[in-house]
Structure 1
């Protein structure tokens, strides 16, 4: 009979999971005996980096990625970006080694106690198979659950001695998963949309995950409805140069209500519209506003504080709405006034982002983790093409740099631009190594303000005049890049910035630009 390893490798090949992301230890090595030539192993050097690379790769391919971690210690290191993958609704199959079954009762060195419980609640499903021969079935179930909407990570703990045990051949099942909308609910929503005086649309990350970019444009144009981006949206779901693009909602209750005040109907697509970052009071939507939510995540539907929810894929639901009653005639909303261009007299983050927008190709892919520069990014760096913007949905740091590496692995031949804060970069700086090892065309742009700017901002919000331990001017990202084998340039003024950006964006390998801002 074949071994568990042989059957599992065949299953992974059939499922398309031939790229393994990891940082293995002793309890994982038997999995890689006679590693097949059509598989590749992407080393991440640290487990949070491994999760971030796999997350970017899975989002770029729209398929579950396979992650290999080392027992409890490796899973513990990875938990921050596992949480982000869970919030991103990224499909991942995470495996971790376990000590040999024969010595588990002695609590051996590097064993994982209650292994299947440890990564919860940041996985959709977790198990340690009861028998070695159950490993292929567990991996298959993990893949199915990860890929079932709402997508997300799953976890399988595998004892070290399982891989060499005999195992009967395993036949994977075909499962059709999805969220088809309830026809009557869609019809009612469509009638409310048609009868509204001033409808608006709010798009979240789920609209992009469901591939509904074109349908959102069609629905907005059909009803002359302005389109806002939901607070903290991790994906791009509408072109930001479109005449109906209305801007970004702020993650605060009062601000959302004030922005939507002119509208009597709001359709939120693909994610929560009410993702708050600060405490607020009062209503969640303007008085008299008819609120509808459509998305594949039943959890979002359950905790939404207002409105009627439909659990469904956005693309399918929008196709039905586009077949609904003909729209009434409405005046187009006023176009947004363009911001005046910055002249570079001051080297600010807004100027850096403006120049990236001016010099990059619109088809290049932005992976962002510069939280304190998010507002200037919205103002100065418009996202114009579908599937070209990715960021963390969790707010946790250390995702952006490795996610850019994974995205470049998934979308070879496309330029990936990682826009990172200096603090964020230090959470996962080891990811530069993987970019160099695989020769990936990533431009790492570090916006260096020498401090933890987000905390300074919130310190002011809470009336704090001084924060301890949040200054780090001594960091040198050019030297850090060179230490990983990557070419780098520093930009301290407008002239140096343009030259450095042009050099980096034209490169066919990984490069880093340290942009020192005020």
Structure 2
């Protein structure tokens, strides 16, 4: 039996061969620009990779969490959904931590998971995924196991469009192993809108309130950079001469940290947010929740006398915002519409924030056993080009990084919105893959590194210009520093937080990645410079206090 006539938008290169589910999916992925397949192989997925197309790239991760982390970084840096292939229930289970992070990061991702053959599913066979569509919930936007094999291509097409529609996120399609060789029809080419324009009447309310206020504050979230609204947000802040804060726990930076109006980073604590925003009579939250909290708090959500407005791409977030007015829609379109209004009266520039963005830390003394994190990051800042991309997963060092390693350009900073570890190292690989030739710096804590150390192998095999900087303080410092919030005395031990004896240079060598340990402040500059200049995978283990 020969395949049916192809859709006019599809190349017809195999008229004499049957057109299968596999053929339809490959053609579909090619048209969606998803020719990089992030995967860890399993038996129930093998038919997809038979006669692998020459224009496709298989990106191997040695563990499924690494696979999804790489796909997350790739999708964010490329602004297109990534394609992931996992192995049945076990593979999805291994990947769930980074699927959770992708969901919180609003990362578009089409995840396919292998399933046993349809004919033996009633017998609960080995490697079958029971309730496959329920397994990743609630951290996928949509999931399906198509009722018929010939429906798989259409299911993947729908999955792509769902993943790309704001708020973006991961989706999952479970595919039985015997579906790939069944006959299928090509999927017609379609264009589907991915963004909606915010409601004009509500934007007019926000614009009028901005014009009338005296002391506005902007709170910028990761959706600003995701939507390509960095420059527009800067213009809007300059027009209204608003102080600009970065939202708590933001996975991306949406405003230059060396700008005159930049006022710093908000903590994830209600009372401290209210204190930091005190004195402002209008707070405009752009592309972020209002607000992300990490611990229980009390009292008002905004300072007395201040009104709250929000522009957000996620209706679910708008629904739980506790006070004020929220408008839902694409961030860039909303900001552009606000900029299209007549210019307001010019108000005075706010006073500069009291704390300077950076202060040079002293060189450790000869008696110091270890250098400070501040010294290490100041040294890195001196060597880093503003166009270099930083992927960070060093929670206990984040506040220090924010002071000593400022982000000043769009698309040059990524971290996780979720708080789940194991994202940073593979995400750096994915970012580098999406940005050929761009230097990527993975700034990782020692505890974080051990969640997905296998990412080093992928970086080496792909020969990517990633420098992995491991800040090794031999502990889960974030937990030790957070313990007093839950009643620990300053000297109380926190069980399970000490990490002695990990040799990151040896681990890197085992996966083919050259590495060096920097425990001497006097040599750190040269060590980092050599690693960055290599423009190839390198690991620098920095021993810090």
Question: Are 2:178 and 1:161 equivalent residues in the alignment?
Answer: yes
In the TM superposition, residue 344 of structure 1 has moved relative to its aligned partner by 2.0
Between 452-461 and 259-268, the greater mean CA deviation after superposition: 452-461
Question: Are 2:474 and 1:470 equivalent residues in the alignment?
Answer: no
Question: Are 2:335 and 1:318 equivalent residues in the alignment?
Answer: yes
Give the aligned partner of residue 356 of structure 1.
380
1:64-102 per-residue CA deviation (whole Å, 9 max, x = no partner) reads: 000000000000000000000000000000000000001
Give the aligned partner of residue 413 of structure 1.
437
Distance 2:482 2:150 in 1: 53
Checking the alignment, whether the CA contact within 8 Å between 1:68 and 1:94 is kept in structure 2 is yes
Distance 1:451 1:388 in 2: 28
In the TM superposition, residue 151 of structure 1 has moved relative to its aligned partner by 0.4
Question: Are 2:515 and 1:491 equivalent residues in the alignment?
Answer: no
Checking the alignment, whether the CA contact within 8 Å between 2:474 and 2:500 is kept in structure 1 is yes
Distance 1:235 1:495 in 2: 32
In the TM superposition, residue 385 of structure 1 has moved relative to its aligned partner by 0.7
Between 67-76 and 376-385, the greater mean CA deviation after superposition: 376-385
Distance 2:359 2:376 in 1: 15
Equivalent of residue 257 in structure 1, options 267, 271, 274 = 274
Give the aligned partner of residue 328 of structure 1.
345
Equivalent of residue 387 in structure 1, options 396, 399, 411 = 411
Distance 1:351 1:306 in 2: 41
In the TM superposition, residue 343 of structure 1 has moved relative to its aligned partner by 1.9
Q: How does 1:422-441 map to 2 (within 5 A)?
A: 422-441=446-465
Distance 2:184 2:294 in 1: 50
Give the aligned partner of residue 43 of structure 2.
26
Distance 2:186 2:360 in 1: 64
In the TM superposition, residue 493 of structure 1 has moved relative to its aligned partner by 2.1
Distance 1:423 1:151 in 2: 29
Give the aligned partner of residue 128 of structure 2.
111
Equivalent of residue 74 in structure 1, options 85, 91, 106 = 91
1:31-80 per-residue CA deviation (whole Å, 9 max, x = no partner) reads: 11111111110000100000000000000100000000000000000000
User: Is there any run of 5+ residues in structure 2 with no aligned partner, and where?
Assistant: 4-18
In the TM superposition, residue 170 of structure 1 has moved relative to its aligned partner by 2.1
In the TM superposition, residue 281 of structure 1 has moved relative to its aligned partner by 0.4
Between 86-95 and 1-10, the greater mean CA deviation after superposition: 1-10
Between 217-226 and 319-328, the greater mean CA deviation after superposition: 319-328
Distance 2:404 2:485 in 1: 24
Give the aligned partner of residue 124 of structure 1.
141
Distance 1:468 1:282 in 2: 33
Taking a change above 3 Å as real, the CA distance of residues 50 and 169 of structure 1, as seen in their structure-2 partners, is: same
Q: SS at 1:37's partner residue?
A: coil
TM-score norm. by structure 1 comes to 0.99
Checking the alignment, whether the CA contact within 8 Å between 2:133 and 2:145 is kept in structure 1 is yes
Q: SS at 2:267's partner residue?
A: coil
1:401-424 per-residue CA deviation (whole Å, 9 max, x = no partner) reads: 000000000001100000000000
Checking the alignment, whether the CA contact within 8 Å between 2:390 and 2:414 is kept in structure 1 is yes
Distance 1:340 1:360 in 2: 17
Give the aligned partner of residue 341 of structure 1.
360
Q: SS at 1:161's partner residue?
A: helix
Checking the alignment, whether the CA contact within 8 Å between 1:149 and 1:177 is kept in structure 2 is yes
Checking the alignment, whether the CA contact within 8 Å between 1:368 and 1:418 is kept in structure 2 is yes
Distance 1:340 1:171 in 2: 58
Q: SS at 1:319's partner residue?
A: helix
Checking the alignment, whether the CA contact within 8 Å between 1:190 and 1:325 is kept in structure 2 is no
Distance 1:235 1:505 in 2: 22
In the TM superposition, residue 172 of structure 1 has moved relative to its aligned partner by 3.2
In the TM superposition, residue 472 of structure 1 has moved relative to its aligned partner by 1.5
Question: Are 2:166 and 1:145 equivalent residues in the alignment?
Answer: no
Give the aligned partner of residue 243 of structure 1.
260
1:217-237 per-residue CA deviation (whole Å, 9 max, x = no partner) reads: 101111111100000111010
Q: CA RMSD in A?
A: 1.0
User: Is there any run of 5+ residues in structure 1 with no aligned partner, and where?
Assistant: none
Distance 2:186 2:426 in 1: 36
Runs of 4+ in 1 over 6 A off after TM superposition: none
Checking the alignment, whether the CA contact within 8 Å between 2:143 and 2:173 is kept in structure 1 is yes
Number of residue-to-residue matches in the alignment: 518
Between 194-203 and 318-327, the greater mean CA deviation after superposition: 318-327
Checking the alignment, whether the CA contact within 8 Å between 1:231 and 1:273 is kept in structure 2 is no
Checking the alignment, whether the CA contact within 8 Å between 2:39 and 2:59 is kept in structure 1 is yes
